[in-house]
Chain A
């Protein structure tokens, strides 16, 4: 479909805003981690360290330079892919994160592929047959899923499927994933637990967005033209609800990279969230910063994408 110049201008503007936000966020991440209590050099050298040794280490690590200079240096490193070296085990952070990020993205990808279509269809169906048994069942289900904390879902899943029934492995990482069946088994429980958490919100928001457009005069007009309910909803209501739905999906999915620490812990899954928590406990500043930036970037790119979908689906900006 043809898009006017204004549309692209708006898209460009939105991208620009995202970039500016990213710089501000990086600033906040850098200085907020600097506020963490304790001095890195002291912690690394232990309680018995002499003040001279601490000062020497601080100088060697560049910690005595002004904060702004350190920030610019760090930002420059980020841009060139140099994330720095871990304070704790002297490994390149890029190497530390690479494997973990791949794990996190794999899990997030699987959950996305399963959840988004499922949640959207359930939400749309509930809106289409509003007030029916199906709608009420979906509503009750989503509310109960939202109300149950995810550690409960995860723990119960382990208890039932791994301990009592012994159908699935309790740990999903490091088990044999040679065949598709084995891989499905390995990922089944974390994926199910995460799906529970993210799809409930998506279903509710999709249903609300579609119902809002169903109540507009042009959807009533479609009904008065003799359109069936599916036609009314899919052809007339849904295209105008894309913006809010995209935003709801983006918000839910952004949780999958940074917010899954509980699920990662319960299933002992080596993802980025767990890496960050470990980094906090060892005061590994460069690692904390890098992880935080990854979460921020994933969140920002998802919301930016959603906003761009909303802009592109706005008919008033078409030629």
Chain B
């Protein structure tokens, strides 16, 4: 670097006060530079402090946090020494921010245009008409549909992918020198992610702005960043160019991150080939939906005539974008949402459509594990009580026997028995998901419906959960129905794949033949959209524009 850096951070220290009133240091002496025009990625798991560092570049610390030491310089401004009013003057004009969830970051009660050009109004940069025409130019550059009128809509009237690009327009309107992207594609489907990434990259290349790209996804970062900073627990582990980090990682933690990304081919469980496998789960012509029932059919039909068989000891992956009906399928099989047509058979026994009509034994045999352990675990109950409840309900265990079984189950999911006295809020994300799993195991099920159970977890943690699932399958002879939007996760654990699109199964294949033989255009688009750990992947990616237009409408 010959030019003087645009941003320099020296020995940054940020402290936080915990709920218990204890003061902890969450960023411990971080230093880095960003050259003009360079895009720097901050990579790390949740809790590594990457967002905290990014926000500190704008002089902002979330409530409970404070910048305690070190020095941040952006351009000629010393952010750490500025007054709050001075920092406000910096935000939007020098440094701007693209949020993680644009859906949450847009004010629901104001039109999109008013929010996109708000920066120009706050800082009195230009008259309104000029700002609006500038916004429309940005909408075009970001490949948004109907750029002349999209600004007149309210946030809930456009899709998530569009909102994410609109939030980039909002960040770029004030012509900042540095743009912070805070996991901007994490909440998007893979097919949508590509378009958004492309739009971001082309705009950043054209304008020559510097960027900070916060993400936990190395493959995404590989497409957009020049250099990568690897963070763990508020400390820098390794800094290097993208190529060096991907090809020659020096730090063990970086290697661990990369290893978690490597696909682990799934070896089908079961010893030897049995002559005839009986299906544990068979679904015939299943249709389900939401809303008021008219003429025996719900108003909003989600699932349309779904058929499949899952053989005992095998795993079925269900894949598709958000809104494709994956979760609805799990809910209909579990009976939470009774199907209005079709049938679910467990071991050749037809199940009642509605949960309350099923026998306790039927309930016990098929358990569901939800995506968000945070909301699935009662925050007021201890881990022990959460796991003990199905033990009492299904098996009538009480007292010492029940306690012993809870300890056993915790051991099964590799959690220390001492954790039973803790509340869910005192556990990490991975630990919570393990408790969630232990609760399902407590029923001693034969089939577990896993609804996106690794989606909210970091790659390393998610890989460990997948390992655990495989191990449990070997020991207990379980079958999984594994719902995910992530093809590589499904490949890592499943034998067969169902591809869902708009409530229908468009393709059903053994997973090993998926990438080679998938015939449906949507499956092909899905396969080609999974980011690869290769800096040239996005540039070299050629997708049929018609295909994209037909299926990646979000």
* Partner-B contacts on A (CB < 8 A): 215-228, 231, 235-236, 239-240, 313, 315-316, 318
8 chain-A/chain-B pairs, Cβ below 8 angstroms: A218-B107, A223-B88, A226-B89, A226-B119, A227-B118, A228-B85, A235-B110, A240-B108
Q: Is B200 an interface residue (CB 8 A)?
A: no
- A224 in complex: contacting residue of B60, B101, B109, CB < 8 Å: B60
Q: Is the CB of A316 within 8 A of B154?
A: yes
Q: Which of B92-100, B284-292, B297-305 contacts A (4 or more CB under 8 A)?
A: B92-100
Residues of B within 8 A of A222 (CB): 107, 118
Identify the closest chain B residue to A316 (Cβ). B156
Are A227 and B122 also in contact (CB < 8 A) when A236-B107, A315-B108 are?
yes
> Which one, B88, B108, B123, contacts A218 given CB within 8 A?
B108
Verify if B90 is at the interface (C-beta below 8 Å from A): yes
Complex Cα gap A315–B96 (Å): 26
Closest 8 CB pairs of A and B: A226-B91, A315-B109, A217-B104, A226-B92, A221-B105, A218-B107, A224-B97, A225-B92
Q: Which residue of A lies closest to B114 (CB)?
A: A235
CB-CB under 8 A from B101, the residues of chain A are 217
Which residues of chain A come closer than 8 Å to B170, judged between CB atoms? Answer: 225
* B122–A216 touching, CB < 8 Å: no
**B104 in contact with A216 (CB, 8 Å):** yes
Which residues on B sit within 8 Å (CB–CB) of A315?
Answer: 108-110, 154, 156
Q: Give B63's nearest chain A residue, CB to CB.
A: A215
Chain A residues contacting B156 (CB-CB under 8 Å) are: 315-316
Closest B residue, CB atoms, query A313: B109
Whether B181 sits at the interface, judged by CB under 8 Å, is no
Cβ distance B369 to chain A, nearest Cβ, rounded Å: 28
Chain B residues within an 8 Å CB radius of A215: 63
Known: A224-B97, A315-B154, A316-B154. A240 touches B109 (CB 8 A): yes
Shortest Cβ gap from A157 to chain B (Å): 41
Are B104 and A218 interface neighbours, CB within 8 A?
Answer: yes
Bound-complex Cα distance A224 to B108 (A): 17
Q: How far is the CA of A147 from the CA of B96 in the complex (A)?
A: 47
Most buried by B among A218, A219, A220: A218
Segment 66-119 of B: residues with Cβ below 8 Å from A:
85, 88-93, 96-97, 99, 101, 104-110, 118-119
Decide yes or no whether B58 CB sits under 8 A from chain A.
Answer: yes
Q: B91 and A224: CB pair below 8 A?
A: yes
CB distance from B164 to the nearest CB of A (A): 13
Q: Bin chain B's interface residue count.
A: 20 to 34
In this complex, what residue of A is CB-closest to B59? A224
* Smallest Cβ-Cβ distance to B84: which chain A residue: A229
In the assembled complex, the Cα of A218 lies from the Cα of B107 at a distance in Å of 5
Q: Nearest Cβ in chain B — how far from A63, in angstroms?
A: 47
CA distance A235 to B107 in the complex (A): 10
* Interfacial chain A residues near B118, Cβ < 8 Å: 222, 225, 227
Residues 121-144 of B at the A interface (beta carbon under 8 Å) = 122-123
Q: Which residues of A contact B93 (CB under 8 A)?
A: 226
Report the bound CA distance from A219 to B118 in whole Å. 13
Question: How many angstroms from the CA of A221 to the CA of B107 in the assembled complex?
Answer: 9
A222 to B96, CA, bound (A): 11
B residues in contact with A318, CB < 8 Å? 154
Q: Which of B88, B99, B107, B123 has the most chain A CB within a 10 Å cutoff?
A: B107
Name the contact of B92 in the complex, choosing from A217, A224, A239 (C-beta under 8 A).
Answer: A224
Q: How far is the CB of B301 from chain A (nearest CB, A)?
A: 20
Q: How far does the alpha carbon of A135 sit from the alpha carbon of B543 in the complex, in Å?
A: 57
Q: Is the Cβ of A224 less than 8 Å from the Cβ of B122?
A: no
Nearest CB to that of B88 among chain A residues? A226
**Nearest-Cβ distance from residue A212 to partner chain B, whole angstroms:** 13
Known: A231-B122, A239-B109, A318-B154. A225 touches B91 (CB 8 A): yes
Contact B108 A316 (CB under 8 A): yes
Report whether B58 and A224 are in contact in the complex, using a CB–CB cutoff of 8 Å.
Answer: yes
Inter-chain CA distance A23–B438, complex, in Å, is 53
Report the minimum CB–CB distance from A140 to chain B (whole Å).
Answer: 22
The docked-state distance in angstroms from the alpha carbon of A222 to that of B58 is: 13
Nearest CB in chain A: distance from B122 CB, A? 5
Residue in B89, B90, B97, B123 whose beta carbon sits within 8 Å of that of A221 in the complex: B97
**Given A217-B99, A218-B104, A315-B156, A226 and B109 touching (CB < 8 A)?**
no
In the assembled complex, the CB of A295 is this many whole angstroms from the nearest CB of chain B, namely 34
Which chain B residue lies CB-closest to A227?
B122
Other than A218-B105, A227-B122, A240-B109, give 4 A-B pairs with Cβ distance below 8 A. A225-B91, A225-B119, A236-B107, A236-B110
In the complex, chain A residues whose CB is within 8 Å of the CB of B110: 235-236, 239, 315
Tell me which residues across on chain B come within 8 A of A236, comparing CB atoms: 107, 110
